[in-house]
Amino acid sequence: MNGNRFGRLFQVTTFGESHGEAMGCTVSGCPAGLELSEEDIQEDLDRRKPGQSMITTSRGEPDAVSIKSGIQDGYTTGTPIGMVIQNKDARSGKYEPFITAPRPSHGDFTYSAKFGTRNWGGGGRSSARETVNWVAAGAIAKKLLERNGIELKAHVNQIGDVEAPEVSFEEIVERSEENDVRCAHPETAEAMQDLIADYQEEGDSIGGSIYFEARGVPVGLGAPRFDSLSARLGQAMMAVPATTAFEFGLGREAREWTGKERNDDWEFDDDGNPVPVENDHGGIQGGISSGEPIYGEVTLHAPTSIPKTQQTADWETGELKEEKVIGRHDPVLPPRGVPVVEAMLALTLVDFMLLAGRLNPDRLDDQPGEYDTDYHPSSPRNE
Amino acid sequence: MNGNRFGRLFQVTTFGESHGEAMGCTVSGCPAGLELSEEDIQEDLDRRKPGQSMITTSRGEPDAVSIKSGIQDGYTTGTPIGMVIQNKDARSGKYEPFITAPRPSHGDFTYSAKFGTRNWGGGGRSSARETVNWVAAGAIAKKLLERNGIELKAHVNQIGDVEAPEVSFEEIVERSEENDVRCAHPETAEAMQDLIADYQEEGDSIGGSIYFEARGVPVGLGAPRFDSLSARLGQAMMAVPATTAFEFGLGREAREWTGKERNDDWEFDDDGNPVPVENDHGGIQGGISSGEPIYGEVTLHAPTSIPKTQQTADWETGELKEEKVIGRHDPVLPPRGVPVVEAMLALTLVDFMLLAGRLNPDRLDDQPGEYDTDYHPSSPRNE
Amino acid sequence: MNGNRFGRLFQVTTFGESHGEAMGCTVSGCPAGLELSEEDIQEDLDRRKPGQSMITTSRGEPDAVSIKSGIQDGYTTGTPIGMVIQNKDARSGKYEPFITAPRPSHGDFTYSAKFGTRNWGGGGRSSARETVNWVAAGAIAKKLLERNGIELKAHVNQIGDVEAPEVSFEEIVERSEENDVRCAHPETAEAMQDLIADYQEEGDSIGGSIYFEARGVPVGLGAPRFDSLSARLGQAMMAVPATTAFEFGLGREAREWTGKERNDDWEFDDDGNPVPVENDHGGIQGGISSGEPIYGEVTLHAPTSIPKTQQTADWETGELKEEKVIGRHDPVLPPRGVPVVEAMLALTLVDFMLLAGRLNPDRLDDQPGEYDTDYHPSSPRNE
Amino acid sequence: MNGNRFGRLFQVTTFGESHGEAMGCTVSGCPAGLELSEEDIQEDLDRRKPGQSMITTSRGEPDAVSIKSGIQDGYTTGTPIGMVIQNKDARSGKYEPFITAPRPSHGDFTYSAKFGTRNWGGGGRSSARETVNWVAAGAIAKKLLERNGIELKAHVNQIGDVEAPEVSFEEIVERSEENDVRCAHPETAEAMQDLIADYQEEGDSIGGSIYFEARGVPVGLGAPRFDSLSARLGQAMMAVPATTAFEFGLGREAREWTGKERNDDWEFDDDGNPVPVENDHGGIQGGISSGEPIYGEVTLHAPTSIPKTQQTADWETGELKEEKVIGRHDPVLPPRGVPVVEAMLALTLVDFMLLAGRLNPDRLDDQPGEYDTDYHPSSPRNE
């Protein structure tokens, strides 16, 4: 088992290594009748792709997606959607000093130890490049959610010790894509970029975090206990490369709040229905969505591949070596992580929409050329 | 799908509501030949049970486990282990004011909205009482891990703003069970207890956190990407009731560390094998265990059931009400959460031991009365 | 992994051995709002239980089911339904000659070889007694199906070389429970009983088969390719103890039919919708239900436990032995297998009803005390 | 959920429609270190591909597989193996008369009714062309099994009423690929070909069956009850397009055998180990492999696409139509079904080899460049 599958009903299966021929993923469980083109997917892939700006790796990948199945005349057919993204700029030679000596805190050692390979087939699988598949699949999930009134967005809310003030969801939607660092607060974005430039100059890298929020999520998503909405979001987000913390609602801070402070009293909305007065609970109560916005944060540690000299141990020669990781690497992960976090959020939510019966698993209601099954539940002989 | 199953190969399935007749769980995938008695399981159940001390609910539950299958002559048989724990002290009448008015930030509203029930069958399922099943299953997982040299322990490292200093694994093992709050640092434990007593007196509750650590975990556990060790731990821990944050290694703090600071250089151990110089990575690299100790933290918000007056909205009468949650509730969750966190850690690790082929899925090597399959791979006709 | 779980969304998990303390199963994924009592389940259990007549084992088991969770005020709550059935008459001593010498063609040898156990814990799991759990779970599935207009029934259509003529679904429903052998054709039933009595007298046993049919199944169930309706029925039925063949539609006979003969032309029904002229396809086309009745057959080999002397090989003493299986065993399996086959058919169909979105996974539409989630998809803040 | 996944640990995920751009599959769970090339896979694909002989469709597909990931320097790396097979000769125009009128007994109607599509995206998924993916994945499974001493082979044992006499496994291995019909008995093969030619001339098609056998399967595979070896084989084989019956051991015939006749007594082999005297049980006892050869049969109905005139009902025009299915279709399915049945058998067995711990899930023992994890279970800090 390679852990390359995500989702119970909206199922994503991925393949591909950083330095192999292609990446690819298969999405199954997408209902028929969704308008979908390669452009829809490409848009998100472009937000994740390398070489977008000074603060992203200069590896030149067009990341052009090719849909192989599951679409006809611009609409999904209800059958598996196969997608392939060719790797163009795979120069594996560059890593050679590290073939038998693991890069510090990278997946090199653990992959080699697990699979017994000393090369890039395994190491290449551990690359964040794999998330190109997630973003491709997530773009489909997002389209389905949008049709159901669910909107979601992430932005970078901290880099090093530079932290953005709280911004509204509308601001995140409008402004986060306006700067390279993908922070919805323009002044903070500038400060972040300066900070990143400084570390980059020193040959170092820096950590940061991503804030995410989803609006319009109906009450009732989540399958507690082990598949509670928070548990599944926890898995989804902790799978994001370099993640060391997942928080929702008050997150870590909740440890210092009293029950009275954190509890959200109930009131009535204009229609006379109970709604929480505030949303300190982060949109999830008892593991199930409460109808309030779902929000949280993901912490990504600093990229491990840095130009600064580090010590490694060569298991072939038995010698310690001082090496620099030469190559094209991001000095910070959150900016390109934003579409990845959005993808995992979307994949988790759309799966629960299906699990809660809020999305027809076979086909959308208003699809073109619809053929009504219900007209014919059975033949006369079947009664 | 109720989300009542955990694990791919070591599978736990649970049932039961807080105010129903019994709790129960079925463990499948435990190899034959493990010495196991009800006492082994009871020991952990007693650490989780209510009424242990002043700082736990006074609900009187013996939580006596009865094993119904899967054991013979004191050893597991390789077949599913069915366990039942009777509920003795289920006084559901107490919650009556809240039948049609949800308790603030509790699972009442979301369960009722999802399942359409206005009563305790659903609400009762959302109770932390359900974790009695997890602890029972986790006790079996722990025994299997111990046989394979893996030891794990958790303790309470923060309550409100009272934080314990760093303590060694040995100290956690030795001291955390010595006080009611389950903090391995005695002076801090006292301060925590005072703090809890204060909040309890005011009719309020307070949040806190649990630190966990596992030793002896071999290199190679984890199935990245979506089932990386960190992702599965994320799911496991975020399923723990009241959890709002999961962190491993540097956790949230990693956002402020540079790559150079956080990266762990490689050196050789006495046998000439590469080992990281430090363990800032928390025992997981690239989603796979590195052979270093695995450690992290889980934040639990304050209990939502508090004697203080709170506002709720009665969906039957359409009126706002000021109510107190009367009943027997913990003023703080981490002390009783310690065995729960240990159980989820154990269940996750044992599952990966099986997935990585490090544990024979059918039977242990040195079990009594072993019958060697290998003597007879096939009959002569089978060649 | 013990293979004790069935179903993707309507999930059954079982435990228990023939000679252990109790059998039990947990059903998850049953929507809230289904009227359900222990009596509903008991009815089917009574049809499966031993000691019903001369042609069933005389083992005296009341097979009384106790529901531990998931029900409140006579309705399901949407949470897992835990059920336990005590074993009363477990006299394992009787099998002693076979402890270290496997019974011919029984599961003794393979279970012992797999799990390394020489005793009844494992052997007991292989007993057909385990199907008591399936029937209990199946009774719930049947109730859900009935609410959706799906009716199903099985009967015994062959014992040895005595074969029943084709009978209508109505006859099967009305007559199959009228005689001990559960054959809907009374004259054949008598001939079957005579045949069974003859074999029983000789100390031998005999094989047979069960015909099953489901009516009212809507078009569109099945998830081809690997989870096509026929594939999942294949798994479900081949799991039934002693099954050596599964057929649907023309079954094995289809090998001798031409395309023109077997193909079912299309015509219009009274409402102007296309329906097949005949149903030689057995209600499944392309792995998906066609709206026609689903029918097929399951072949059960003769019980392996027979009073006649058989040769076994004692792996402890190294000696060949001539032994009789003393005990209380059925001379033929299909009569008690009828409710088991019905249960597996029901469990498969209800799972696909959920997978195809034809059954609300959280709660039934017309349940009492319904609380409408849709009134409140989200708070104003959530838009 | 599209049902496009097979296997618990050796996982296959497929995509692709008959008339789409490409077919593809991802295999995960294959250990590192298996020597594997595109040629290994191509060999089996060539046995399945159309246009091989007069009795197969003349559709011209080279079915050339391209491996995109998971292989390095000729060996598997332990990461997912992505494979793509381009569709070259997809002339969907040919089926146009049937766009709004379902072909008799084909998947047209049910796919259209389920997904609401009136075209070939869905219908194309229902095509037997999809099995190209299964055969590609199965070729990898076969290589793994062979390394472990497990050999398997299928042949065509009946077409219409022409039935082959019993032949030995060796004959099946040696002779079945020598003739177009893939029957290991040359005289029968000739008779079969004549029969097929006759039906083909009439514009009709005919059913048939495939016999399969596996040798060298160790004792202990299978996870009863629901995942018994027979249940999982049942699912695997019933997923094969056009299958209407699955039998193992005596199959359907078992209904007429007595216990004494069918039971296989035990004796000792030369090493003093118990072995069954015969193998009427078909290599599976109690749902677990017995160490004897596993054998059975799969019945495939006649191809539904025939040149003969058939009646269909046009749901657009509301008119009955007499149509012929023009195109390139096989007059009989078993000859090309042989590699498909072998693939499903191999995929099932390799999955159970992993589940039973008989195959290292991460890497093969004797792979080149092996890096021994066990040298370094943990750092000193980890003890």
Most confident of the ranges A323-327, D94-98, D125-129: D125-129
Compute the Cα dihedral for D135, D139, D145, D149 and give only its sign. Answer: positive
Listed in sequence order, the DSSP H helices in chain B are: 38-48, 108-115, 120-125, 131-147, 169-175, 186-202, 229-238, 259-262, 334-355
At position B161, the amino acid (one-letter code) is: D
pLDDT confidence of residue D374? 40
Angle at C70 between CA C65 and CA C73, to 5 degrees: 90
pLDDT confidence of residue C118? 58
Structure tokens at D240: 């094969």
**Cβ count near A43 (within 10 Å):** 13
pLDDT confidence of residue B123? 58
Structure tokens at D76: 């598997």
Phi and psi of A370, rounded to 5°? -65, 145
pLDDT confidence of residue D66? 97
What is the tens place of the pLDDT at every residue in B15-60? 999 878 999 999 999 999 899 999 999 999 999 988 777 777 666 6
Listed in sequence order, the DSSP H helices in chain D are: 38-48, 108-115, 120-125, 131-147, 169-175, 186-202, 229-238, 259-262, 334-355
Residue written as token pair 């209510």: B50
What is the tens place of the pLDDT at every residue in B299-354? 999 999 999 999 999 887 889 999 888 776 899 999 999 999 999 999 999 999 99
pLDDT confidence of residue D187? 98
Q: HSE, CB side, 13 Å, CA atoms: give it for residue A142.
A: 22
Contact assignment for B267 to A106 by CB distance below 8 Å: no
Q: What SS3 class is residue C251?
A: helix
Q: How far apart are CA C348 and CA C360, in angstroms?
A: 16
Q: How far apart are CA D27 and CA C268, in angstroms?
A: 44
Q: How far apart are CA C340 and CA C318, in angstroms?
A: 39
pLDDT confidence of residue A319? 93
Contact assignment for D254 to C299 by CB distance below 8 Å: yes
Structure tokens at B300: 């639990």
**Cβ count near C15 (within 10 Å):** 31
Among the partner-chain residues D2, D22, D68, the one whose CB lies closest to the CB of A20 is: D68
Q: HSE, CB side, 13 Å, CA atoms: give it for residue A81.
A: 33
What is the tens place of the pLDDT at every residue in A154-171? 999 999 999 999 999 999
Q: Which of B87-96, C199-208, D338-347 has the lowest mean pLDDT?
A: B87-96
Listed in sequence order, the DSSP H helices in C203-282 are: 229-238, 259-262
Query: Which residue, B375, B29, B32, B329, is CA-closest to B196?
Result: B329
Q: C134-150 burial by CB neighbour count: b if 16+ within 10 A, else e?
A: bbbbbbbbbbbbebbeb
- For an interface test with A, which of B2, B8, B25, B110 has the most A Cβ atoms less than 10 Å from its Cβ? B110
Q: Residue A381 above 60 pLDDT?
A: no
Q: How far apart are CA A281 and CA B243, in angstroms?
A: 11
pLDDT confidence of residue D125? 84
- Is residue C243 within 8 Å of residue D284, measured between CB atoms? no
In this prediction the pTM is 0.96
HEC profile of C216-232: CCCCCCCECCCECHHHH
Contact assignment for B16 to C72 by CB distance below 8 Å: no
Task: Find all residues with CB under 8 Å of B1, minimum gap 6, and list them.
Answer: A8, A223, A227, A355, C8, C9, C11, C28, C29, C361
- Is residue D33 within 8 Å of residue D367, measured between CB atoms? yes
Counting residues of chain B whose pLDDT is more than 70, the rounded percentage is: 89
What is the tens place of the pLDDT at every residue in D261-291? 999 999 998 888 889 999 999 999 999 999 9
HEC profile of D86-146: ECCCCCHHHHHHHCCCCCCCCCHHHHHHHHCCCCHHHHHHCCHHHHHHHHHHHHHHHHHHH
- Cα distance from B1 to chain C (closest Cα, Å)? 4
**ipTM, 2 dp:** 0.94
**Cβ count near A271 (within 10 Å):** 9
Residue of D nearest to B221 (CA): D362
At position A150, the amino acid (one-letter code) is: I
For residue D370, name the pLDDT band (cuts at 50, 70, 90): very low
Contacts of C2 in chain B (CB under 8 A): 11, 28-29, 78-80
D212: left (phi over 0), alpha (psi -120 to 50) or beta: beta
Task: Find all residues with CB under 8 Å of C131, minimum gap 6, and list them.
Answer: C48, C240, C241, C340, C343
DSSP letter (8 states) at residue B206? B
Q: HSE, CB side, 13 Å, CA atoms: give it for residue C114.
A: 40
Structure tokens at C133: 């759990």
At position A287, the amino acid (one-letter code) is: G
Contact assignment for A28 to D2 by CB distance below 8 Å: yes
Contacts of B274 in chain D (CB under 8 A): 376
Q: Which of A123-137, D27-41, D233-247 has the lowest mean pLDDT?
A: A123-137
For residue D96, name the pLDDT band (cuts at 50, 70, 90): low
Contact assignment for A362 to C356 by CB distance below 8 Å: yes
- Is residue A133 within 8 Å of residue A14, measured between CB atoms? yes
HEC profile of chain A: CCCCEECCCCEEEEECCCCCCEEEEEEECCCECCECCHHHHHHHHHHHCCCCCCCCCCCCCCCCEEECCCEECCEECCCCEEEEEECCCCCHHHHHHHCCCCCCCCCHHHHHHHHCCCCHHHHHHCCHHHHHHHHHHHHHHHHHHHHCCCEEEEEEEEECCEECCCCCHHHHHHHHHHCCCCCCCHHHHHHHHHHHHHHHHHCCCECEEEEEEEECCCCCCCECCCECHHHHHHHHHHCCCCEEEEEECCHHHHHHCEHHHHCCCEEECCCCCEEECCCCCCCEECCEECCCCEEEEEEECCCCCCCCCEEEECCCCCCEEEECCCCCCCCCCHHHHHHHHHHHHHHHHHHHHHHCCCCCCCECCCCCCCCCHHHCCCCHHHC
Q: How far apart are CA A3 and CA B18, in angstroms?
A: 34
CA B56 vs. chain centroid, Å, equals: 17
| Averaged pLDDT of chain D | 89
CATH hierarchy code of domain C5-382: 3.60.150.10
Residues in chain C: 383
Q: How far apart are CA C105 and CA D277, in angstroms?
A: 10
Average of per-residue pLDDT across A37-62: 84
Contact assignment for B276 to D362 by CB distance below 8 Å: no
Contact assignment for C77 to B125 by CB distance below 8 Å: yes
For residue A316, name the pLDDT band (cuts at 50, 70, 90): confident
Structure tokens at C78: 């949407």
Counting residues of chain B whose pLDDT is more than 90, the rounded percentage is: 71
Spans of chain C, pLDDT less than 70: 57-60, 89-97, 118-123, 328, 365-383
Structure tokens at A252: 């870590």
| Binding region of B | 48, 125-127, 286, 301-305, 328
Among the partner-chain residues B1, B361, B362, the one whose CB lies closest to the CB of C11 is: B1
Arch. (CATH architecture) of B5-375: 4-Layer Sandwich (3.60)
Contact assignment for A315 to B256 by CB distance below 8 Å: no
β-strands C22-28, C11-15: how paired? Answer: antiparallel
For residue B367, name the pLDDT band (cuts at 50, 70, 90): very low
- Cα distance from A227 to chain B (closest Cα, Å)? 5
Phi and psi of A153, rounded to 5°? -160, 150
Contacts of A215 in chain C (CB under 8 A): 378, 382-383
What is the tens place of the pLDDT at every residue in A40-49? 999 999 999 8
Contacts of A279 in chain C (CB under 8 A): 379, 381
For residue A96, name the pLDDT band (cuts at 50, 70, 90): low
**Rg for chain D (alpha carbons), in Å?**
22
For residue D53, name the pLDDT band (cuts at 50, 70, 90): confident
Phi and psi of B346, rounded to 5°? -65, -45
Q: How far apart are CA C23 and CA C14, in angstroms?
A: 8
Residue B81 CA: distances (Å) to CA of B33, C15, C63: 13, 7, 20
Helix-helix angle A229-238:A334-355, to 10 degrees: 150
Q: Residue A351 above 80 pLDDT?
A: yes
Average of per-residue pLDDT across B187-211: 97
Structure tokens at A363: 């086909």
- Is residue A48 within 8 Å of residue A340, measured between CB atoms? yes
* Top-confidence residue, B241 or A125: B241
HEC profile of D145-177: HHHCCCEEEEEEEEECCEECCCCCHHHHHHHHH
Average of per-residue pLDDT across B367-381: 40
Q: How far apart are CA D367 and CA D359, in angstroms?
A: 13
pLDDT confidence of residue A126? 86
Query: Which residue, D348, D347, D295, is CA-closest to D139?
Result: D347
For residue D256, name the pLDDT band (cuts at 50, 70, 90): very high
